[in-house]
Amino acid sequence: MTTEKIIDEINNMTIDGSEDYDNLERIDELTDLLKKQKDGHLACYAMINLLERHPHVEFGTPGQPVHTIESYSGYYEDFLMESLDRQPTSMTIWMLNRIINEAEGSEKSKLIDKMKSFMTHPSADEEAKDAAKDFYTFQTKEE
Protein backbone atom coordinates (compact mmCIF):
# COMPACT_ATOMS: atom_id res chain seq x y z
CA MET A 1 0.00 0.00 0.00
CA THR A 2 1.39 3.41 -0.95
CA THR A 3 1.64 6.35 1.40
CA GLU A 4 -0.90 8.19 -0.75
CA LYS A 5 -3.45 5.38 -0.28
CA ILE A 6 -2.75 5.27 3.46
CA ILE A 7 -3.33 9.04 3.66
CA ASP A 8 -6.59 8.70 1.72
CA GLU A 9 -7.81 6.01 4.09
CA ILE A 10 -6.88 8.04 7.17
CA ASN A 11 -8.57 11.13 5.73
CA ASN A 12 -11.78 9.21 5.07
CA MET A 13 -11.87 7.35 8.36
CA THR A 14 -14.53 8.01 10.96
CA ILE A 15 -14.06 6.48 14.39
CA ASP A 16 -17.26 6.07 16.35
CA GLY A 17 -15.63 6.20 19.79
CA SER A 18 -13.01 4.54 21.92
CA GLU A 19 -14.74 1.19 21.55
CA ASP A 20 -14.70 1.23 17.74
CA TYR A 21 -12.08 -1.50 17.88
CA ASP A 22 -12.12 -2.35 14.17
CA ASN A 23 -11.19 1.18 13.14
CA LEU A 24 -8.69 1.60 15.98
CA GLU A 25 -7.00 -1.63 14.93
CA ARG A 26 -7.01 -0.37 11.35
CA ILE A 27 -5.24 2.82 12.48
CA ASP A 28 -2.55 0.65 14.09
CA GLU A 29 -2.20 -1.32 10.86
CA LEU A 30 -1.94 1.87 8.79
CA THR A 31 0.68 3.39 11.07
CA ASP A 32 2.70 0.16 10.87
CA LEU A 33 2.52 0.40 7.08
CA LEU A 34 3.59 4.05 7.16
CA LYS A 35 6.70 3.21 9.14
CA LYS A 36 7.81 1.01 6.25
CA GLN A 37 7.41 3.79 3.68
CA LYS A 38 10.29 6.09 2.74
CA ASP A 39 7.81 8.95 2.45
CA GLY A 40 5.72 8.10 5.52
CA HIS A 41 6.33 11.61 6.86
CA LEU A 42 3.88 12.85 4.23
CA ALA A 43 1.07 11.42 6.38
CA CYS A 44 1.78 13.66 9.40
CA TYR A 45 -0.92 16.17 8.46
CA ALA A 46 -3.52 13.44 7.94
CA MET A 47 -2.69 11.77 11.26
CA ILE A 48 -2.83 15.04 13.21
CA ASN A 49 -6.09 15.85 11.47
CA LEU A 50 -7.40 12.43 12.56
CA LEU A 51 -6.66 13.35 16.20
CA GLU A 52 -8.34 16.72 15.69
CA ARG A 53 -11.47 15.18 14.11
CA HIS A 54 -11.80 12.64 16.93
CA PRO A 55 -11.02 14.59 20.11
CA HIS A 56 -12.67 12.11 22.47
CA VAL A 57 -11.30 8.86 21.07
CA GLU A 58 -8.76 7.11 23.27
CA PHE A 59 -5.97 6.12 20.85
CA GLY A 60 -3.74 4.91 23.67
CA THR A 61 -1.29 6.45 26.06
CA PRO A 62 -0.35 8.12 23.81
CA GLY A 63 -0.96 5.42 21.20
CA GLN A 64 0.21 4.41 17.75
CA PRO A 65 -0.84 7.58 15.91
CA VAL A 66 1.14 9.80 18.29
CA HIS A 67 4.20 7.55 18.34
CA THR A 68 4.16 7.43 14.54
CA ILE A 69 3.73 11.20 14.17
CA GLU A 70 6.53 11.85 16.64
CA SER A 71 8.85 9.53 14.75
CA TYR A 72 8.87 12.17 12.00
CA SER A 73 10.54 14.92 14.02
CA GLY A 74 11.03 17.99 11.89
CA TYR A 75 8.01 17.19 9.70
CA TYR A 76 5.01 17.27 12.01
CA GLU A 77 5.57 20.19 14.39
CA ASP A 78 4.16 22.93 12.13
CA PHE A 79 1.08 20.82 11.40
CA LEU A 80 0.60 20.24 15.12
CA MET A 81 0.80 23.97 15.89
CA GLU A 82 -1.72 24.74 13.14
CA SER A 83 -4.06 22.09 14.51
CA LEU A 84 -3.69 23.44 18.04
CA ASP A 85 -4.55 26.94 16.84
CA ARG A 86 -7.67 25.62 15.07
CA GLN A 87 -9.00 23.00 17.47
CA PRO A 88 -6.89 22.00 20.46
CA THR A 89 -7.68 18.52 21.76
CA SER A 90 -6.41 16.78 24.85
CA MET A 91 -4.22 14.53 22.65
CA THR A 92 -2.66 17.36 20.62
CA ILE A 93 -2.11 19.34 23.83
CA TRP A 94 -0.37 16.27 25.24
CA MET A 95 1.84 16.20 22.15
CA LEU A 96 2.72 19.87 22.71
CA ASN A 97 3.70 19.04 26.29
CA ARG A 98 6.02 16.32 25.02
CA ILE A 99 7.69 18.92 22.77
CA ILE A 100 7.99 21.33 25.72
CA ASN A 101 9.72 18.59 27.73
CA GLU A 102 12.51 18.55 25.13
CA ALA A 103 12.72 22.33 24.55
CA GLU A 104 15.09 24.73 26.27
CA GLY A 105 15.42 28.44 27.00
CA SER A 106 13.29 30.97 25.16
CA GLU A 107 11.76 28.31 22.90
CA LYS A 108 10.51 26.44 25.97
CA SER A 109 9.07 29.65 27.45
CA LYS A 110 7.31 30.45 24.17
CA LEU A 111 5.76 26.98 24.03
CA ILE A 112 4.66 27.15 27.68
CA ASP A 113 2.91 30.45 26.91
CA LYS A 114 1.22 28.76 23.97
CA MET A 115 0.09 25.98 26.31
CA LYS A 116 -1.42 28.59 28.63
CA SER A 117 -3.48 30.03 25.76
CA PHE A 118 -5.29 26.71 25.33
CA MET A 119 -6.76 26.98 28.82
CA THR A 120 -9.20 29.56 27.38
CA HIS A 121 -9.15 28.72 23.66
CA PRO A 122 -12.66 29.24 22.21
CA SER A 123 -12.56 25.99 20.20
CA ALA A 124 -11.23 23.83 23.03
CA ASP A 125 -13.68 21.65 24.93
CA GLU A 126 -13.48 21.29 28.70
CA GLU A 127 -11.32 18.16 28.47
CA ALA A 128 -8.76 20.00 26.34
CA LYS A 129 -8.83 23.07 28.59
CA ASP A 130 -8.28 20.87 31.65
CA ALA A 131 -5.37 19.11 29.93
CA ALA A 132 -3.81 22.47 29.06
CA LYS A 133 -4.21 23.66 32.65
CA ASP A 134 -2.64 20.48 34.05
CA PHE A 135 0.32 20.59 31.67
CA TYR A 136 0.80 24.34 32.19
CA THR A 137 0.84 23.81 35.96
CA PHE A 138 3.32 20.97 35.53
CA GLN A 139 5.60 23.03 33.30
CA THR A 140 5.59 26.11 35.56
CA LYS A 141 5.96 24.45 38.96
CA GLU A 142 8.89 25.55 41.07
CA GLU A 143 11.70 23.05 41.15
10 Å Cβ neighbour count for 82?
14
What is the pLDDT at residue 115?
97
**CB-based contact 24:60 (threshold 8 Å):** no
Q: Where are the domains of the chain?
A: 3-140
Using 50 as the pLDDT threshold, list the residues of the chain that sit under it: none
DSSP helix, strand, coil percent of the chain (3-state; round to 5) = 70, 0, 30
DSSP 25-44: HHHHHHHHHHHTSTTGGGGH
CA distances from 11 to 44, 61, 63 (A): 11, 22, 18
89-118 tens-digit pLDDT: 999 999 999 999 999 999 999 999 999 999
